[in-house]
Structure 1
Amino acid sequence: MPSEPFFLPEFGQTDPGLGLLRMAALLAETDDDPGEETLDLMAEQVESGCLAGLDPADVWPELLLSLGGPAPGKAFRVLRICGALQVVLPEVDALFGVPQLSDGQSEVDLGAHLLRSLDEAGRRDAPLPVRFALLVMNVGKGDSPREHLPHHYKHIDRGGPRISGIAERFGVPADCVPLALTALSECERVHRASEVRAGPVAQMLERLGAFDAPESFALLMEVCSCDFTAHSGRSGEAYPKAVLLETARNACLPIEPATPEARAEAIAQALRSQRWSSEG
């Protein structure tokens, strides 16, 4: 006997497919994990085709409830388990089971890492652009050639059009897209920033708008920090690259004229002083 669809009129949602998406958001707001019976019922509904033919414009508000909730990783985990994620966001679903290098030679599953980074964003009450960037910035890695894994050559070339396509498909707010595209190309570079290379740090700050668009720069640092913290054993840690780049940025602010050379020299002095202080 087929299971009953998820009708949620008390929450203003009567379409069974949209009701299922809303159920994921509601389940994530509870302290308990959803039971197997509930997840099985949701999976049956997905298999019955309840999500087929939904207008993406109607899907986005339901996804937004999950993405903007207190535990977005938990909500998207529910969507993944029941099969809904593969239907509505196949670009993100494709990340599960795909390895990427973490510290040293250890590897992480990109999908599992994504969920942890989203939950970190929820704990920080991060704004929507940060959450959307974390959700989509790795979508170019889902189909990296298997023979190259855990490396993801040219994923930026693949990821950019996919992020733009997701944003267009769902009508994602325009202020979310630039940060997602910047995170795609810059997050891993930020993770590699080095205190012994003042020139490249100065160039990075200029490229990321640290002087001309400090609000956007701060949002990118939040994306990178959530991504960093999502790695095993880093919960509660400060993000060292954010500290490094903020120290470098502050050293540059008084510089006039703000030439690349002058900024690099100021950064070198500031980071050298910081290093000596930490070693003393």
Structure 2
Amino acid sequence: MKIYLVGGAVRDSLLKLQVTDKDWLVVGSNINEMTKLGYKLVGKDFPVFLHPITHEEYALARTERKLGHGYKGFKYHATSKVTLEEDLLRRDLTINAIAQDHLGNLYDPFNGIQDIKKKVLKHISLSFKDDPLRVLRVARFAAKFAHLNFYIHNSTLDLMKDMCNTQELLYLKPERIWKETSSALNTLNPHVYFEVLRKCGALSILFPEINKLYGVPAPAKWHPEIDTGIHTMMTLKIASQLTNDISVRFASLCHDLGKSLTPKHLWPRHYGHGIAGIPLVKKLCKRLKIPNEIKSLSILAVQTHDLLHNIYEQNPEDILNIYNIIDAWRQPKRVKQIALISESDARGRTMFESINYTQGKYFIEIYKYICKIKTKDIFIKHSNINGLDIKKLIYNERLKLLKKFINLYKIK
């Protein structure tokens, strides 16, 4: 029995990146031997074990053969006779098919180390096309390593395009699509993930709401990049520079979905695109089973993302209404989130990337000032008043403070 460190841990170590998870490969063993040694069997589809002390994952070496569609369409073969090279052969990319033994010796039968040096994402064999999830994985790796200037090998991109021309991507489970997408949203350059999906044809299949934004024009005066799809990617790029919050990043991705539905005879203007985008966000989030917190913020983003742009000219009632729309009183973190989404939208334009978006800071400062009001004290002081009157009283007090803040700001 031999044990090797494999996959991302070896790859990231060679790239001098932080290693967070370790996957181990066991060659020359079987289920009975592993359980006798105290390993806990947890794999449902193939033999995976948890180490009795470290709880890290140990998988038996295996081969696989495609028999049907989707993730369940594989037959796995795991015995003590499966070799290290046979197991590495079934993996997706050469950079993920490097093994390291306990002495630190590296085993690299498919030249993954050379491809790391060349900064190329390249498939190992034609069996790559058997698993449609690999289209998303390669896109995610492209986003993960974009800051290191990795690129996808042309032959691998061609395979991905071929895979998108079949019906295989339709067999992907929503949970698996979202898992890859959320991981991509956590990278430094999540926009690269969606750009790669579009390049190979997967965006129109998995994210048609986003794909339809390409080719939709916007006024050149405000959007020198003109194309709404390009603007969306620029917005996501800015959002990822401003925050690690994937709720904000995903909401920024969705903020202009409604522009694909506005009447073409009105283009390049898109009156009412905010409200029009709400059903599209709901449909997308339902289809991919996206968490409710992210869905809720995305809906609010399409409603409010452009309201902050002219906040200095808005009347106090309209400003206060924004806080009411986002339920800022019960969800205070949304104030900063909406401010970041609005800033991403404003800066996600050619030649506007470096503007000082003071509107977002202004929106946050107003909220802090209004929050001087203690609603609990109002309830105690006016305990004899009914709910509707209390609500109106609180509204008036907040409006009074908001007006005071605006006047003080003007004096400054």
TM-score normalised by the chain length of structure 2: 0.59
Shift in Å, 1:213: 2.5
**SS of structure 2 residue aligned to 1:191:** coil
- Deviation at 1:60? 1.6
Equivalence for 2:208: 90
2:143–2:189 CA contact under 8 A, matched in 1: yes
In structure 2, the partner of 1:80 is 198
8 A contact 1:211–1:249 mirrored in 2: no
2-structure distance, mates of 1:75, 1:151:
28
Separation in 1, partners of 2:288, 2:314: 43
Q: Which runs of 5+ in 1 are unaligned?
A: 1-5, 275-280
Evaluate the alpha carbon distance shift between residue 233 and residue 265 of structure 1 in structure 2; reply closer, same or farther with a 3 A threshold: same
Q: CA deviation at 1:126?
A: 2.5
8 Å CA contact 2:236, 2:253 repeated in 1: yes
1:118 corresponds to: 236
CA distance in 2, matches of 1:27, 1:247: 38
SS at match of 1:194: helix
Give, in whole Å, the separation in 2 of the partners of 1:124 and 1:104: 22
3-state DSSP of counterpart to 2:218: strand
Which residue of 215, 234, 238 maps to 2:356?
A: 238
Q: 1:109 to 1:240 in 2, by over 3 A?
A: same
- Matched with 1:24 is 139
8 Å contact kept, 1:7–1:14? no
1:21 and 1:81 map into 2 onto residues whose CA distance is 12
- CA separation of 1:87/1:21 partners in 2, compared to 1, >3 Å: closer, same or farther? same
Q: Give the gaps of 5 or more residues in structure 2.
A: 1-89, 98-127, 379-393
Distance 1:116 1:202 in 2: 29
Structure-1 separation of matches of 2:270 and 2:233 = 20
Aligned-pair CA distance for 1:103: 4.8
**Partner secondary structure for residue 100 of structure 1:** coil
Question: Bigger radius of gyration, 1 or 2?
Answer: 2
Structure-2 separation of matches of 1:107 and 1:74: 17
Specify the alignment match of 2:401 in structure 1: 263
The one of 88, 92, 99 equivalent to 1:8 is 92
Q: 1:255 to 1:54 in 2, by over 3 A?
A: closer
**Is the contact made by 2:301 and 2:341 (CA closer than 8 Å) also made in structure 1?**
yes
Separation of aligned partners in 2, 1:197 and 1:269: 12
User: How far 1:137 moved relative to its partner?
Assistant: 2.5
2:289 matched residue in structure 1: 171
Q: Tell me, yes or no, if the aligned pair for 1:251 and 1:266 is still in contact at 8 Å.
A: no
1:199-250 C-alpha deviation (Å, 9 max, x unpaired): 4323333443444432111111111122222122233443221122223223
User: How many residue pairs were aligned?
Assistant: 268
Q: Supply the AA of the counterpart residue of 2:92.
A: L
Q: Indicate whether 1:130 and 2:130 are aligned.
A: no
Counterparts in 2 of 1:41 and 1:215: CA distance versus 1, 3 Å: same
1:273 aligns with 2:411: yes
2 CA distance for matches of 1:20 and 1:74? Answer: 13
| Identity across matched positions, percent | 24
Partner of 1:191: 309
Q: Which moved more, 1:108-117 or 1:227-236?
A: 227-236
Give the Cα–Cα distance (whole angstroms) in 1 for the partners of residues 241 and 398 of structure 2: 37
Structure 2: distance between partners of 1:139 and 1:198: 28
Stretch moving more, 101-110 or 160-169: 101-110
**Do 2:346 and 2:352's aligned partners in 1 also have CA atoms closer than 8 Å?**
yes
Per-residue deviation, 1:101: 3.2
Query: 1:62 aligns to what?
Result: 180
2: CA distance, partners of 1:35 / 1:188 = 39
Alignment of 1:217-256 (within 5 A): 217-255=335-373
CA distance in 1, matches of 2:209, 2:329: 34
More helix by share: 1
Is the Cα contact below 8 Å between 1:7 and 1:19 reproduced in 2? no
Equivalent in the alignment of 1:278: none
Structure with the bigger RCO (C-alpha within 8 Å, sep 6+) is: 1
Shift of the 210–200 alpha-carbon distance from structure 1 to 2, 3 Å rule, reads: same
